[in-house]
Amino acid sequence: MRHTIGQQIIIGLQGLTLSKDEAKFIVDNNIGGVILFKRNVESPEQVRNLCAEIQALRHRMPNKAPLFISIDMEGGRVHRLKAPFTQWPALAHVGKLDSTSVAFRFAQAMGDELRAVGINLDYAPSIDIFNNPQNTVIGDRALSTKADIVAKLGSALVRGYIKSDIIPCAKHFPGHGHTLVDSHYGLPVEEKTLAELDAEELEPFKKVIRARLDLIMIAHIMFPKIDPTWPASLSEIFIKDILRGQLRYRQLVISDDLDMGALKNNWDKGTIATRALQAGNNILLYCNEPDSPGIALDAVEKAVKDGSLPKAVVEENAQLVLDLKANRLKNPDPLPMEEASKVIAHPDHLRLAKAIVAGEVPADLLAQAT
């Protein structure tokens, strides 16, 4: 059972190389994947070698399934890969151009560089609507203040990532654009009704779901008029009733980082892990605290044994993860460095990034956009 649970967990790493303890934990517990941050990035060759080392672990694991190697790469402020990787602008610049071709090409080019070094899952695009000008957490991470533009361009971004063989993850359901509290530190509380969310925040999600999206990230936001007990990330109402029932989303759901202050300031780590699965999350994300994945494994294993979490739920989640990997991670290893170097900071990518900021993209840079 522990191996089944482990496939549903993505963990952070501490440094530029994979430690023996990290490798042992991943293999022993059949961990589903990792997330990379700036602390894990020094150069293209180092990232490529780290990804190759992580991906090689699959040969020692029960399912022999590829690992998710994930990252937060939106462009702008949320940009883990430093130069010489192309430095992509914030999505607000893409939004100003209001071009699906530009959005598609932006995501495809970014995705090509990620895949070259072995990254296969990007927690992007952010399809939050910037509908509160005081919201510094989202700000220029949003495509627009208008739901229809976010929906249209968000869908194009999803298609661009898929074209580059990256698994995109639309976030932060049901919408982080109106919040003032940063969920890294506290729990945002929004007084919106479901009707209000449906009229605005949910529009982009409806659109990207139709773009063959495989993954949606759930936000740590409290909506007391919709669920007075749980934030969206731990809420059956939001995940099962709204996302799966009302929006008819059939693919995978991942939590935002379960160690964020929004949750850990209010519940213990074991409760958070088991509740996240009870609520309908398929994958649990742990970014920064090395002890948390082990605590989660113990808590979920105990919950299955005592019957508070049905064994069938855990088994189904693991199978969904394995199915996604089988469908989307057919060539999980990074390119040889010589080939990867030709993709990273390709002249067309550099021109595209610069042109988006300037507000005018030449037609030849969009030739691959469909």
Contact 76, 94 (CB under 8 A): no
Q: Hey, what are 251's tokens?
A: 């693919």
Q: Report phi then psi at 306, rounded to 5.
A: -90, 0
Instruction: Give the active site residue among 256, 257, 259, 349.
Output: 256
Distance separating alpha carbons of residues 197 and 219, to the nearest angstrom: 14
**94, 106 contact by CB (below 8 A):** yes
Q: How many other CB atoms are there within 10 angstroms of residue 87's CB atom? A: 16
Closest by Cα among 332, 104, 282 to 208: 104
DSSP bridge pairs for 9: 284
Helix then strand then coil, in percent of the chain rounded to 5, is 50, 10, 40
Among this protein's residues, is 256 annotated catalytic? yes
Q: Verify cis geometry, omega within 30 degrees of 0, for the bond prior to 84.
A: yes
Reading the block at residue 83, the tokens are: 């130069």
Q: Which of 3, 182, 184, 298 is catalytic?
A: 184
Q: Is 98 a catalytic residue?
A: no
By three-state DSSP, how is residue 11 classified? strand
CB 117 within 8 A of CB 172: no
Strand order in the sheet with 167-168: 167-168, 121-122, 68-71, 33-36, 9-12, 284-286
Residues facing residue 75 across a β-bridge: 78
3-state secondary structure of 254: strand
Closest CA to 91 of 72, 74, 107: 74
**Mind telling me the catalytic residues?**
184, 256
